[in-house]
Each structure stands twice: as C-alpha cells, then as structure tokens.
C-alpha cells in the first residue's frame, strides 16, 4: 500500500531539519545508501511491509542494520519511523527525500531514450545542448534503450518531450497516407 502524501510529509520534515542543522549533504548521502540497500535487498523491504512481523521487531531490525552508520539526523528519523510504525512506507520516504533534495538543489532529471546504446561523448553533447537552451544547469541524464524506436531519440525533461525517433516519423507518415491528403492534392 502506497501513501505518497505521508512519505512527502516525512521527507519534507527531514529535509527542513537537515537544512536547519546544515547537514543536508550528509543526510542526502545517507538516503542514497538506504535507497541502494532497499533496491538491492528485496527481502528487507518485504520485511518492513509485512503485516505479520510485529512493529517492534521491524524497529529492532532497522536499528541493528543502521546503527552507527548514518548521521544523527538520519538515525533520529529512522527511530521516529519505527516509533510511529511507519516502516512499511520507508522506501517511499527515502525516495521522496531524494526527489525533494534534487528539487531543492535544482538538479533536473533528463531521460534520453535511443534505439541503441550511445557513447558518453554523445550524452555530454545532449547535456551541453540542454544547458545552452534552458535554465537547467545541473542535469542528471538517464539513458534508456528501446529498440522499437528504430533510430533517432526521445528527450524528456520536466513537462517537455522532444520525439525525434524514426518510429514517430513513420507513424506520422502513416496518418497522412490514411487521410489520403496526397491523393486529394494531386487532383
């Protein structure tokens, strides 16, 4: 069961406290480590979400796994999650914090989808082009490969989409042929 509003509220509180205590970067590093733990260890997340395992045991596991490895703010946050029995929303809170941090630091996520893997040089070209054409200066580029594009690329950032793929152009050409605009123009 997901609860994005709850996750956002907890993450926002953690972000605000981190800023007040001037430990934002340390807490961000902690949250990245926690995100890695969660994504690499499915059993850990299943344990936290399990209604069968008592909340006290979940809290004990959280304390044991994380003891002495994170900043005091992160440790207090994790104790609060255990105390309030919010362990099942743990990964959502971690991801919400990471998103809020990136928004706070004006780090923009850009997705580049191509038909084949592209070189690092080409990725840097796209980053430079986006920086030159927009106000985005800190860019995190995610490269995705989808063979059905045939060629070209799709670039997504914010609410913008630039589709310069061969499959898109073929689709447009098919629509024109179906309308018979070409035959009408010949008469």
User: Cα–Cα distance between 185 and 58 in angstroms, integer?
Assistant: 71
- Domain layout of the chain by residue ranges: 4-104, 107-186
Q: Are 19 and 28 in contact (CB under 8 A)?
A: no
Architecture of domain 4-104 in CATH? Orthogonal Bundle (1.10)
pTM for this model (two decimals): 0.78
What does each of the 187 residues of the chain score in pLDDT, given as a tens digit? 588 899 999 999 999 999 999 999 999 999 999 999 888 988 888 888 888 888 888 878 877 777 778 898 998 898 898 888 888 898 999 999 999 999 999 999 999 999 999 999 999 999 999 999 888 999 999 999 999 999 999 999 888 899 999 888 888 888 877 777 555 555 4
């Amino acid at each position: 069961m997901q609860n994005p509003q709850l996750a956002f509220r907890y993450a926002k509180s953690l972000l605000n406290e981190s800023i007040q205590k001037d430990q934002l970067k340390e807490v961000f590093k902690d949250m990245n480590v926690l995100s890695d733990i969660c994504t690499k260890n499915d059993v850990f997340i299943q344990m936290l979400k399990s209604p069968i395992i008592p909340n006290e045991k979940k809290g004990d596991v959280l304390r044991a796994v994380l003891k002495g490895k994170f900043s005091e703010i992160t440790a207090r946050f994790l104790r609060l999650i255990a105390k309030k029995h919010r362990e099942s929303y743990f990964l959502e809170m971690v991801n919400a914090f990471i998103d809020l941090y990136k928004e706070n630091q004006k780090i923009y996520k850009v997705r580049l989808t191509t038909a084949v893997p592209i070189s690092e040089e080409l990725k840097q070209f796209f980053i430079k082009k986006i920086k030159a054409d927009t106000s985005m200066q800190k860019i995190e580029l995610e490269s995705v490969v989808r063979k059905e594009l045939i060629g070209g690329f799709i670039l997504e950032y914010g609410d913008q989409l630039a589709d310069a793929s061969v499959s898109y152009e073929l689709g447009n050409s098919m629509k024109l042929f179906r309308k018979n605009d070409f035959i009408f123009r010949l008469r």
